[in-house]
Chains A and B, each alone.
Chain A
Amino acid sequence: GQQLNQSPQSMFIQEGEDVSMNCTSSSIFNTWLWYKQDPGEGPVLLIALYKAGELTSNGRLTAQFGITRKDSFLNISASIPSDVGIYFCAGPNTGKLIFGQGTTLQVKP
């Protein structure tokens, strides 16, 4: 079945640094979604991408839909302590979402 692989698995950065993470798939997706999850809470939708090559921003977050439709990237600029959490990519498959394993971000003040 379809699988999404996220890298890196975890990151530990200094406040103010930029962050980049990616998500790759063995098959094509027509939509890419990026979620953030805080401990003990449900995932919160950050950005949705619908078109190959699309670049979309949400505040300090920017995400790109890869040209091959098999990958997507999420960048966070000027990180702050509240960026701490787990970031998941997800793609739809017949209605349901397939999730990656997540990238855990820790920010040192």
Chain B
Amino acid sequence: DTGVSQDPRHKITKRGQNVTFRCDPISEHNRLYWYRQTLGQGPEFLTYFQNEAQLEKSRLLSDRFSAERPKGSFSTLEIQRTEQGDSAMYLCASSQWASGPGNEQFFGPGTRLTVL
């Protein structure tokens, strides 16, 4: 396994359209995370899954955003009725969670979304 992959790498859409991004984590990892990053800022947490269960959602995740991880493997992030403020880099990360220290998160290359 070569790491976390994301598709597409770039997406340009018009305001009001729906977009969907896919993330494939490192295969043995049970946790999958979505972050959003705008220019000049660090990544901001959106949501995360342990296996197929969505364990936490940020207040940043408005009702236009939905994420799924139906079989505990890949995940999708959908944004409905996109707005210009949604333009950002969307990052996916994965980790193999266990109690105790560790649980480093490994990031994919990101999907750059531009809403016109």
B33 part of interface (Cβ distance < 8 Å): yes
B110 part of interface (Cβ distance < 8 Å): yes
B107 part of interface (Cβ distance < 8 Å): yes
Residues of A within 8 A of B48 (CB): 95-96
Residues of A within 8 A of B101 (CB): 30-31, 50-51
CA A98 to CA B41, docked complex, whole Å? 12
Residues of B in contact (CB 8 Å), total 29
CA A89 to CA B87, docked complex, whole Å? 24
Encoded as 1 (CB less than 8 Å from any B CB) or 0, chain A from 17 to 55 comes to: 000000000000011010100001111110010110000
Closest Cβ neighbor of A4 among chain B residues: B42
Residues of A in contact (CB 8 Å), total 26
Contact residue among B45, B104, B108, B112 (Cβ-Cβ distance under 8 Å from A96)? B45
Contact residue among B55, B103, B107 (Cβ-Cβ distance under 8 Å from A92)? B103
The A38-91 residues at the B interface (CB cut-off 8 A) are 40-45, 48, 50-51, 88, 90
Interface hub of B40, B44, B58, B104 (most chain A Cβ within 10 A) = B104
